[in-house]
């Protein structure tokens, strides 16, 4: 079967096509991400209204590219292009007129592709952005009469690990660390989850981004801090910062996090610091990164031990961080060598639609009438 997936939960527009062979093997036909990083860089962050507009503009061109890469783009008028069908599209995309125009001209030019299921992220995320993807998915589901399933973005950050690792054993502990979330989740099996703990304020990725802004490093903060930290660590004279940053909640008995105090500590340290040269920025970056990593590792390892997990799964944009991956893997190998470690390749850690496709596959029995699908910015993977 071939699954078309649409992901617009934050600022990147993702469209992927995944084929699941009769043997159960996954074959990636295409995975296209139209990044809005340039916009984010210009304005120093993500703004929902601006991101929503960019999704409206990018969805159809991204769709065309994904179909082309998958060799599923065929010119020729859709047989079912009638005035009635067009009215449906106009109604669904009532709030996205630019997208409607682009989609209608696409549908006049190209035939229905060989797709068996549509999978779309309906939450959590930025609600205006989620709605654009959801409405786009509804429009093509209705027009081409293709079954549709709505999937959870956090679950997708976990299940993307199954693309290359069907042998993941349960119970597993998943640490999902992104720009909007930091959660430790008990994975009893695919589809059965329990949130054990989460951040009480800022997410880990948000902390990276805000600290980078304070230090005047640009956007998105995670990859920039990680690069600068690497430079500090390569310098043989580097022994760590004189003033250590706090590791908030590292000693508490729960699985919760808090990162806003760390950001404030960086702000005060930065105000106090007289020299703000390259070396200072590199060393601050290394300390910020290590403070975040220390807390993530401590709480995650506690959960792995407490629940006797057979696997530890990482996911979300921050799991692209090289130091986090390496240090977490080493700690697990040392303290619990029988547990296995899984992390996506870095380009699948950050938002993409392939993760949405694989999640749609595991929930292929949950298709619903497209009319019933709603975006929900606060959707949760468990109660
Ligand atoms: O999962 P994601 O792509 O989007 C959300 O669902 O939020 O995560 C984005 C977050 C951003 O905060 C970004 O700074 C962070 O992931 N990130 C990183 C790295 N690459 C992306 N953080 C630390 N190190 C990285 N290499
Ligand atoms: Zn994400």
Tell me: the pLDDT tens digits for 276-307?
Answer: 999 999 999 999 999 999 999 999 999 999 99
Q: What is the mean pLDDT of residues 344-364?
A: 97
Residue with CA nearest ligand 1 atom 14 = 222
Q: Would residue 316 be called left, alpha or beta, if left means φ above 0 and alpha means ψ between -120 and 50 degrees? A: left
Q: CA 132 to CA 247: how far, in whole Å?
A: 38
| pLDDT for position 226 | 98
| pLDDT for position 231 | 93
| pLDDT for position 36 | 82
- Judge if the beta carbon of residue 209 lies within 6 A of ligand 1: yes
Q: 45 falls in which pLDDT band (50, 70, 90)?
A: confident
- Judge if the beta carbon of residue 226 lies within 6 A of ligand 1: yes
- Judge if the beta carbon of residue 317 lies within 6 A of ligand 1: yes
Give the other-Cβ count within 10 Å of 127's Cβ. 17
Higher pLDDT, 80 or 310: 310
- Looking at residue 219, the DSSP 8-state letter turns out to be S
Please say if the pLDDT value at position 79 is more than 80.
no
Please say if the pLDDT value at position 134 is more than 70.
yes
Closest-approaching ligand to the CA atom of 206: 1
Q: Which of 123, 204, 318, 354 to mutate to test the pocket of ligand 1 (most atoms within 8 A of CB)?
A: 318
Q: How far is CA 345 from CA 93, 261, 304, in A?
A: 35, 31, 22
Atom of ligand 1 at shortest range from CA of 221: 14
Q: What is the mean pLDDT of residues 209-237?
A: 92
- Judge if the beta carbon of residue 63 lies within 6 A of ligand 1: no
- Judge if the beta carbon of residue 248 lies within 6 A of ligand 1: no
Give the other-Cβ count within 10 Å of 217's Cβ. 19
Report the percentage of the chain scoring pLDDT > 90: 86
Q: What is the mean pLDDT of residues 180-188?
A: 98
Please say if the pLDDT value at position 371 is more than 90.
yes
Edge-to-edge order in the sheet of strand 192-198: 192-198, 182-189, 172-177, 311-315, 340-342
Q: CA 166 to CA 342: how far, in whole Å?
A: 11
Q: What is the mean pLDDT of residues 171-177?
A: 98
Question: Residue 377's closest CA among 180, 88, 226?
Answer: 180
- Cβ atoms of 126 and 49 within 8 Å: the answer is no
Buried b (16+ CB within 10 A) or exposed e, 129-138: bbbbbbbbbb
Residue 121, CB half-sphere, CA atoms under 13 Å: how many?
35
Q: CA 78 to CA 142: how far, in whole Å?
A: 13
| pLDDT for position 234 | 84
Average pLDDT, whole number, for the chain? 94
Map residue 249 onto helix, strand or coil: coil
Please say if the pLDDT value at position 147 is more than 90.
yes
Please say if the pLDDT value at position 86 is more than 90.
no
pTM score, two decimals?
0.96
| pLDDT for position 240 | 67
Q: What is the mean pLDDT of residues 48-72?
A: 96
Atom of ligand 1 at shortest range from CA of 316: 1
Question: Residue 221's closest CA among 12, 40, 8?
Answer: 40
- Cβ atoms of 377 and 122 within 8 Å: the answer is no
Residue 155, CB half-sphere, CA atoms under 13 Å: how many?
27
Phi and psi angles of residue 311, each rounded to the nearest 5 degrees, phi first: -140, 150
Atom of ligand 1 at shortest range from CA of 212: 14
- Judge if the beta carbon of residue 318 lies within 6 A of ligand 1: yes
| pLDDT for position 235 | 79
Q: CA 128 to CA 92: how far, in whole Å?
A: 15
- Judge if the beta carbon of residue 10 lies within 6 A of ligand 1: yes
Question: Residue 208's closest CA among 229, 183, 235?
Answer: 229
| pLDDT for position 242 | 63
**14-28, 83-97, 149-163 — which is least confidently predicted?**
83-97
Q: CA 29 to CA 8: how far, in whole Å?
A: 19
Q: 243 falls in which pLDDT band (50, 70, 90)?
A: low
Q: How far is CA 303 from CA 178, 190, 194, 309, 320, in A?
A: 19, 18, 12, 8, 21
Give the other-Cβ count within 10 Å of 38's Cβ. 9
Residue with CA nearest ligand 1 atom 2 = 317
| pLDDT for position 200 | 98
């Amino acid at each position: 079967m071939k699954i078309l997936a649409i992901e617009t939960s934050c600022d990147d527009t993702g469209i992927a096509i995944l084929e699941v062979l009769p043997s159960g093997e996954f074959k990636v036909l295409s995975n296209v991400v139209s990044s809005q990083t340039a916009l984010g860089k210009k304005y120093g962050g993500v703004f929902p209204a601006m991101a929503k507009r960019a999704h409206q503009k990018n969805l159809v061109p991204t769709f065309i590219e994904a179909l082309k890469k998958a060799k599923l783009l065929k010119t020729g008028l859709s047989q079912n292009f009638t005035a009635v069908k067009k009215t449906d599209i106009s109604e669904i995309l009532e709030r996205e007129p630019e997208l409607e125009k682009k989609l209608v001209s696409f549908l006049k030019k190209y035939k229905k592709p060989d797709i068996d299921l549509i999978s779309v992220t309906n939450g959590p995320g930025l609600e205006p952005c989620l709605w654009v993807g959801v409405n786009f998915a509804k429009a093509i589901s209705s027009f081409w009469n293709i079954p549709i399933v709505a999937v959870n973005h956090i679950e997708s950050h976990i299940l993307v690990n199954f693309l290359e690792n069907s042998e993941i054993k349960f119970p597993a502990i998943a640490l999902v660390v992104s720009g909007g979330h930091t959660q430790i989740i008990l994975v009893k099996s695919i589809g059965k989850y329990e949130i054990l703990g989460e951040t009480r304020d800022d997410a880990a990725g948000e902390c990276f981004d805000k600290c980078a802004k304070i230090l005047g490093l640009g956007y998105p903060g995670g990859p920039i801090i990680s690069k600068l930290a690497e430079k500090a660590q390569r310098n043989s004279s580097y022994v760590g910062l004189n003033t250590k940053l706090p590791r908030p909640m590292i000693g508490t008995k729960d699985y919760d996090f808090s990162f806003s105090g760390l950001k404030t500590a960086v702000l005060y340290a930065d105000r106090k610091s007289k020299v703000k040269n390259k070396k200072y920025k590199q060393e601050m970056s290394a300390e910020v990164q290590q403070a975040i990593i220390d807390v993530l590792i401590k709480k995650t390892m506690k959960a792995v031990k407490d629940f006797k997990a057979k696997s530890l799964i990482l996911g979300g944009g921050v799991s692209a961080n090289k130091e986090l991956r390496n240090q977490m893997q080493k700690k697990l190998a040392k303290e619990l060598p029988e547990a296995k470690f899984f992390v996506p390749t870095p380009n699948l850690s950050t938002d993409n639609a392939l993760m949405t496709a694989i999640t749609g596959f595991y929930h292929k029995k949950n298709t619903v009438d497209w009319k019933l699908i709603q975006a929900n910015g606060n959707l949760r993977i468990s109660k």
